Amino acid sequence: MEQQQQQLSRKRDGVVQVLDGSEIRALVENRDAFARFVDDRFRKLDADGDGRLSVKELQPAVADIGAAIGLPARGSSRQADHIYGEVLNEFTHGKQDSVSKSEFQHVLSDILLGMAAGLKRDPIVILRINGEDLNEFVDSPRYEPEAAAIFSQLKSGDNASLRQCLLAALQQLTVDHGMPPASDFWVVENIVEPAMQELGTNQLDQPVSQEAFFHEFKKLLSIITRRLQQHPVIVAHTENTFDGSGIRRLLLNKFEFDKLLDSVWRGVPKEHKDKTSKGYLRVALDRIADSASLPPYGAVDQVDAMVNEAFKMAKADDGKVVDEDEFKKLLTEILGAIMLQLDGNPIAVSTNTVVHEPMSAPSSLLSPMSLSPLVSPPPPVNREP
């Protein structure tokens, strides 16, 4: 990630901010500031004023945590709902109907420190896309071969129009080219569509040759460059490569790994004679994920596929009941299987999210920024689909 930041900082488009979790950590570690923060949040959540937060009153906090870690809205996917449920269970331990302020503070501290650790490992780089890098790309020797490669992909087997080719080509460009995500609604409405209208050719709906595509695409990018100079776009950029090295480090540190396994085992529901269902192995893996440098289940499809394969190999989805030793053995085998898959086929993930001014004031129940000068807020975001 440090190399990524150095590469980005050398670009003409500016690095506005790097969110690395240090400000969140500073808030939590400042006892007085964090106590004021918790008092304010607890008061806002405690609708009936009884000094405890019911499961219903906790829901806005759970939703804010989900939004902060990039989850889609509750009800949009089974995987996201599973993580929301796990967050709620952290507060209630799966048993309580309500939590006290001290319990809320303890769990919130753990969650915020976890978020800070995640940002330290995978910082978010805030970029200002102002057209300079895109202009440099268009004028560079890179343009023609990359445009040819894009055109050959677009024209394979169909008779697409110039309009279709231009719009699809924009989707292939990234922040490395100086292009904000072309699928974002704000970028479409304020950058792409006006640029297409300004292009003004009467051939947009006709089949296109490679030569015509090269000419019109270059012209379109020049118009977009000018619009970006007038209306710079702020983009939150992250990169991560999952190669199994985090799992390897964890497995090699036997003392820490055994402590982690003990902690996970204590946290899973038990059935008769201190046994539990294999179904809780997925819950356990989610709790270990951060320590193993893995994304939460549901966040990266390619990693999910490897996790599913590891569970299949370990026969861990049959719902049978196992004791502590067997549970820990299976979890270790699953981690090892995921590590081997990632070692042979590392997965690189890059995300680019356009930052917009909010249409209305968002919920800020868990935003440490409004209460403490120790933390400067990340801008509100709309994620590209």
**Quick one: what percent of the chain has pLDDT higher than 70?**
83
Mean pLDDT of 157-170: 83
On the question of pLDDT at 159 being above 80, the answer is no
Sign for the CA dihedral angle at 321, 322, 324, 329 comes to negative
Kindly provide the b/e burial profile for residues 93-129, where b requires at least 16 CB atoms within 10 angstroms of the residue's own CB: eeeeebbebebbbebbeebbebbbeebeebbbbbbbb
What is the structure's pLDDT at 7? 47
Report residue 106 as tokens.
């303890």
Distances (CA, A) of 64 to 73, 87, 112, 355: 10, 11, 12, 17
pLDDT of residue 1: 44
**Better pLDDT: 100 or 79:** 100
125 by DSSP, 3-state: which? strand
Span 205-213, average pLDDT: 85
Average pLDDT of the chain, as a whole number: 82
Angle in degrees, CA 70, 93, 72, rounded to 5: 15
Q: What gap in Å lies between CA 42 and CA 31, rounded to an integer?
A: 16
Lowest mean pLDDT among 50-64, 101-115, 175-189, 368-382: 368-382
- Tokens 């080509």 correspond to 169
pLDDT of the residue at 91:
85
CA angle 380, 129, 167 (to 5 degrees): 95
* Better-scored residue on pLDDT, 181 or 8: 181
Determine contact, residues 244/338, Cβ cutoff 8 Å.
Answer: yes
**pLDDT above 60: residue 236:** yes
Q: Model confidence at 377, in pLDDT bands (50, 70, 90)?
A: very low
Q: Which residue has the higher pLDDT, 202 or 274?
A: 274
Question: pLDDT (tens digit, 9 = 90+) per residue, 249-301?
Answer: 999 999 999 999 999 999 888 877 789 988 889 989 988 998 898 988 887 88
Least confident of 4-18, 285-299, 319-333, 334-348: 4-18
Q: What pLDDT is recorded for position 97?
A: 84
